[in-house]
Copies of this chain bind each other. A is one copy, B any other.
Amino acid sequence: MAVYTEVSDAALAEFLAAYDIGTLLSCKGIAEGVENSNYFLHTTGGSFILTLYEKRVQEQDLPFFVGLMEHLARRGLACPQPIRDRSGTALGRLCGRPAALVSFLEGVSLSSPGPEHCREVGVALARLHAAGRDFAMVRANALSVGSWRPLFEQAGGQADSVSPGLTERTLADLAVLEAGWPRDLPGGVIHADLFTDNVFFIGDALSGLIDFYFACTDAFAYDLAVCLNAWCFDARGSFHRDMATAMIAGYESQRPLEPAEVEALPMLCRGAALRFMLTRLVDWLNVPPGALVKPKDPLEYDRRLTFHRQARSAADYGRAA
């Protein structure tokens, strides 16, 4: 939950005056996302989300994120559509911060998804990859393999205080991943953070994807590996094979994996788990005083790594041979 910046009605009125969206009817700070401040806006022109980008988002990345949402929405993907103001720009400023207005997307995040939902996520992920194919901008994945050792070094010597042996396990993972990380897989735009809170459903039907603020240019199969980690394990680290089988089948119903991607899947899943373990670990050890957001438990991903370390092939992730 997060609203870091309080927007006065006067500042909001001035900001909205640049847009053709009618009269403001209501504005509520919403407890969603951990990086930015988000407001739900209702006007005579419709419903919108207003996002104020806080300092964890690099301002130079915003044209990529906003341009990507615009590109994907134009290609029919159900995602927030940036609203341009009368001068044609979709990125404004409000309360000293970069700010954007996007269309409001209906739907509810699932706290206990089943295999049928995982299949839908696989389908939507492959469609996202297809819709992004002709997006012209490029953004390197700042949280890929090259960033993991420096991230771990930020955690300093404190990893073992979070879990005994975590330092040794992580160093072993890093050695394997740095040596064997696949480099030439098919790629393009990936979401890179498609967790349950970023996927909306109405009833059992997937209604949209949100939060493109980790999107980047990287291997498609890595995005699938992120989703397998995010959706197909429970908090105790138990793998749900039926959910993974459904997710991969959904993905492959739109875009069959190439042999190199199939072969790389265990390595990609292990890497994705390490990426989330490491960012969570750094956040866990650096909770600022007065923080409004409870840090997420890095050990949830340490437990997934136990599974990934022993996986030998895509079959271990339930992919039908």
Q: Which residues of A contact B (CB under 8 A)?
A: 1, 3, 8-10, 12, 23-32, 40, 42, 104-112, 200, 202-203, 292
Identical subunits present: 2
Subset of 24 A-B contacts with CB under 8 Å = A1-B292, A8-B111, A8-B112, A9-B110, A9-B112, A10-B111, A23-B202, A24-B108, A24-B202, A25-B107, A25-B108, A25-B202, A26-B104, A26-B105, A26-B107, A26-B108, A27-B108, A28-B31, A28-B32, A28-B40, A29-B31, A29-B32, A30-B40, A42-B106
Residues of chain B contacted by A32 (CB below 8 angstroms)? 28-29
Given contacts A9-B110, A9-B111, A109-B9, contact A30 B30 (CB under 8 A): yes
Residues of chain B contacted by A109 (CB below 8 angstroms)? 9
Given contacts A30-B40, A111-B8, contact A25 B292 (CB under 8 A): no
Considering the complex, give the chain B residue whose CB is closest to the CB of A13: B108
Considering the complex, give the chain B residue whose CB is closest to the CB of A7: B111
Residues of chain B contacted by A105 (CB below 8 angstroms)? 26
Q: How far is the CA of A45 from the CA of B9 in the complex (A)?
A: 29
Residues of chain B contacted by A104 (CB below 8 angstroms)? 26
A203 to chain B, nearest CB (A): 7
Considering the complex, give the chain B residue whose CB is closest to the CB of A203: B23
Q: Do B27 and A30 touch across chains, with their CB atoms under 8 A apart? A: no
Q: Do A3 and B25 touch across chains, with their CB atoms under 8 A apart? A: no
Residues of chain B contacted by A108 (CB below 8 angstroms)? 9, 12, 24-27
Residues of chain B contacted by A25 (CB below 8 angstroms)? 106-108, 202
- Set B12, B203, B292: member contacting A292, Cβ < 8 A: B292
Considering the complex, give the chain B residue whose CB is closest to the CB of A111: B8
Residue with the highest number of chain B CB atoms closer than 10 Å, among A28, A104, A203: A28
Given contacts A3-B1, A3-B31, contact A26 B112 (CB under 8 A): no
Q: How far is the CA of A110 from the CA of B25 in the complex (A)?
A: 13
Q: Do A112 and B40 touch across chains, with their CB atoms under 8 A apart? A: no
Residues of chain B contacted by A106 (CB below 8 angstroms)? 25-26, 42
Considering the complex, give the chain B residue whose CB is closest to the CB of A24: B108
Considering the complex, give the chain B residue whose CB is closest to the CB of A3: B31
Q: How far is the CA of A111 from the CA of B107 in the complex (A)?
A: 31
List 5 A-B pairs, minimum CB-CB distance, nearest first: A29-B31, A8-B111, A25-B106, A3-B31, A28-B30
A209 to chain B, nearest CB (A): 14
- Set B27, B29, B42, B107: member contacting A1, Cβ < 8 A: B29
Residues of chain B contacted by A112 (CB below 8 angstroms)? 8-10
